[in-house]
Amino acid sequence: MAGPSVDVAVCTYRRDTLAHALRSIAGQVLPDGIRLRVIVADNDEEPSAQARTAAAAAQLTLDCHYVHAPARNISIARNACLDAAEAELLAFIDDDEVATPGWIAALLARLDESGADAVLGPARARYPAGAPGWAARADLHSTRPPLTETAAIRTGYSCNVLLRLPAFAGLRFDPALGRSGGEDDLFFATAVQRGARIAYAPDAIVDDPVPAARLTLGWLWRRSFRNGQTYARTRLAAGGWRALLLPVAAGKASLCLAGAALTLASPARWRRLAVRGALHLGACARYCGRRDLQLY
């Protein structure tokens, strides 16, 4: 008996790593009857990924649907994937990630077991040779849910997720955040506010190679600061009071930065605390009306 179809969405912008992502999707070990179809949304002004997508699909015998979704705004590409989806189940993976062979099977199993509307998997950072020792110990580049099974997951991310599309009907990624980042946080937070439930599948792993340019405290600080701005946006949208939220965020930022100063002897620990402090400072900035930091 045939199982459900799954569409797998890959948003891309001028990355040769797309071929590796597609190869890992083609190499999935699937439960009986599961059918995969891949949607590649090209966010370049020109359809630069069209020929590469067609060549990879032919080589891998992969059912692949190409969509040109210009330009340089990740929300436009993500929304194009939502529009192009034909299956009721849609997974997202980034164009620089490599899925482990059991990725889709683990997401499907957790979706069925939990009855949730979406399932997140971990994006496991892969550090290059010569990376600073603190990077792997702090592991600030891996992506996991803000909360795990001990509490409700209130937001999500699009680098490793499986959605039941009917539960997200009418929702779209905000183009206003398509260059700053945080569009996925807001998308999932809004879905949760509307009643969607999110689960976590720790075995649904994708590997995420870390470029050398991101192995700096400055890059991590900026990303965390912007994440804090997005978090604050969702709290305000949910009806939170700015006058109450601001002092709480400021207090948390102070504690994290003080902790960083007190743990300078531990390269991984003080960086972890400093980056966490940046998150709360970003929230403070948003509560004070500062525009979102542009990362991309």
Instruction: Determine the Cα–Cα distance for residues 67 and 290; give it in Å rounded to an integer.
Output: 35
Is the domain of 70 the same as that of 134?
Answer: yes
Query: SS3 sequence, 144-166?
Result: CCCCCCCCCCCCCCCCEEEEEHH
Is the domain of 154 the same as that of 114?
Answer: yes
Tell the residue number behind the tokens 């183009």, with chain if given. 175
- Model pLDDT for residues 131-142, shown as the tens digit of each residue: 999 999 999 999
Q: Between these two residues, 82 and 176, which has the higher pLDDT value?
A: 82
**Bridge partners of residue 208, in order along the sequence:** 125
Query: What per-residue confidence (pLDDT) applies to 255?
Result: 97
Is the domain of 271 the same as that of 166?
Answer: no
Residue 110: CATH number of its domain = 3.90.550.10
Q: Give the domain range for residue 249.
A: 217-287
Query: What per-residue confidence (pLDDT) applies to 150?
Result: 53
Quick check: helix, strand or coil at residue 119? strand
User: For 57-61, which contacts have Cβ atoms below 8 Å and span 24 or more sequence positions?
Assistant: 57/22, 60/22, 60/23, 60/26, 61/26
Q: Specify if 296 maps to a domain.
A: no
Is the domain of 116 the same as that of 169?
Answer: yes
- Model pLDDT for residues 103-141, shown as the tens digit of each residue: 999 999 999 999 999 999 999 999 999 999 999 999 999
Q: Specify if 32 maps to a domain.
A: yes
Q: Which of 11, 21, 161, 159 is nearest to 72 (CA)?
A: 11
Mean pLDDT of 89-103: 98
Is the domain of 96 the same as that of 242?
Answer: no
Question: Which tokens sit at 196?
Answer: 């969607």
Kindly state the DSSP code that residue 182 receives in the 8-state scheme.
Answer: -
pTM for the whole thing? 0.92
CA distances in angstroms from 269 to 18, 61, 139, 218, 263, listed in the order given: 34, 46, 10, 16, 7
- pLDDT for residue 148 is more than 70: no
